[in-house]
Amino acid sequence: MKARRLLAVSRKEFLHVRRDSRSLGLGIAIPVVLLLLFGYVLTLDVDRVPLAVWDRSRAPESRELVSRFEGSRYFQVALRAGGYPELEEAIDDGRVLAALVIPEEFSGRIRSDRPSTVQLLLDASEANTATIALGYAEAVVSGYSADLEVRWARAKGLQGIRPPLDVRPRVWFNTDLESRNFIIPGLISVIMMIIAALLTSLTVAREWEQGTMEQLIATPVTATELILGKLLPYFVIGMTDLAVAVAMGKYLFHVPLRGSLPLLFGIAAVFLVGALSLGMLFSVAARSQLPASQMAMAFTFLPSYLLSGFVFSIDSMPRVVRAVTYLVPSRYFVKGIKGIYLKGAGPGTLAVDAALLLVFAAATVLAATRMFRKKLR
């Protein structure tokens, strides 16, 4: 392999990208648009759950319980109802997600040192949101119940009584519990995989369709020089996309970057080479732009989005699916980039993931080079 011929192929591809505004727009604009859309739209936070309240007791004790819900960041009282028909209508219309019903005898039972019950109605058409909202409601009620127990004990003359268990949580890595802080880093990896494979999936196939591949075959350029030469311009575009995404994450979405920036770009460069080579492999195999781009989308978008741990936890997947995720390169990059962003992970922690990404990059480059043949069918 000679550097002169490799650079000549790269220069040719650079000129093509510069003249083809669509490819350049695809490579630069789409990542920015995806980051804006996913960054502002996609969220896993369940805050300000719209709540309806039917307080049948209308006593200080019931009003205190309602105030606990109002004071929580997780609930917003959107309706003061006067009966079950009004609650059902609000839930059916989607105006509220949950409804709290306090029975008429609530205050009397509390004052007479007897346990009481409250009813919580939930719209479980979105099961995950309903489960999280139920957990929030149980936490509010449990806190109120613990305070009542302390008051009862003190009213009976038992001084110095405290709740039996005092939980003092300390959240690591994502202190504010913002889903955006782990969505943006994961999204960077998904975007890089999709865009890289999609861009390079058109390169060799375009040469065959335009009839210029015959000219390249007639030159002394080897298969390795051709593949690597065509990868280089898109590698520059991919690293530019990464720099833009990191800047947007920091200054637009305020996502903290606790780890090393050079380490982030280093592991991203290895992943990018593998993603570009995968697209090149599709392009060499298909020899036509349409099927090549379809293969790139099918083998990059769905696995990267669903099986990488970007949004859905791998630990909660079925055992068979978890085994399949080990074949998805984005899994290791998502883990690595989240570790750098949120935990400040260093080279020692990411060594295994980086090594697997290096194997992925080497394997795809070798496969694309071996599959390409300098001959006409």
Per domain, the residue ranges of the chain are 7-43+178-371, 49-155
Residues ≥6 apart with Cβ < 8 Å to 177: 45, 171
Confidence of residue 295 (pLDDT cuts 50, 70, 90): confident
pLDDT tens string 173-203: 777 777 788 888 888 888 888 777 777 777 7
3-class secondary structure, 11: helix
Report the alpha-carbon distance of residue 200 to residue 27 in Å, rounded: 10
Among candidate residues 154, 244, 122, the one with its CA nearest the CA of residue 195 = 244
Higher-pLDDT residue of 93 and 265 is 265
- The predicted model gives 255-274 an average pLDDT of 92
Q: How far apart are CA 4 and CA 144, in angstroms?
A: 75
- Mean of pLDDT values over 330-347: 90
What SS3 state is found at 316? helix
Superfamily of domain 49-155: abc type-2 transporter like domain (3.40.1710.10)
Stronger pLDDT, 264 or 183, i.e. the higher one: 264
> Which one, of 161, 49, 46, 65, lies nearest residue 110 by Cα?
65
Q: Is the pLDDT of residue 270 over 90?
A: yes
What pTM does this model have? Answer: 0.76
pLDDT at 360: 93
Share of the chain above pLDDT 90, in %: 17
Q: Give the per-residue pLDDT at 214.
A: 63
Q: What is the pLDDT of residue 113?
A: 77
Strands (E), the chain: 49-55, 75-80, 98-102, 119-122
- Helix then strand then coil, in percent of the chain rounded to 5, is 65, 5, 30
| 331 vs 299, residue with greater confidence | 331
β pairing state of 75-80 and 119-122? unpaired
Burial annotation 261-293 (CB, 10 A radius, 16+ → b, else e)? eebbeebbebbbbbbbbbbbbbbbbbeebeebb
Q: For position 340, what pLDDT does the model report?
A: 92
Which whole-number Å values give the CA distances from 239 to 63, 250, 272, 298, 340, in the listed order? 57, 17, 8, 23, 17
Look at 178 and 374; give whichever has higher pLDDT.
178
- pLDDT tens digit string along 113-126? 788 888 999 988 88
What's the mean per-residue pLDDT of the chain? 82
- Average confidence (pLDDT) over 327-335: 91
**pLDDT value at position 132?**
85
Q: What's the pLDDT tens digit per position in 134-175?
A: 888 988 888 888 788 777 766 666 665 565 666 677 778 777
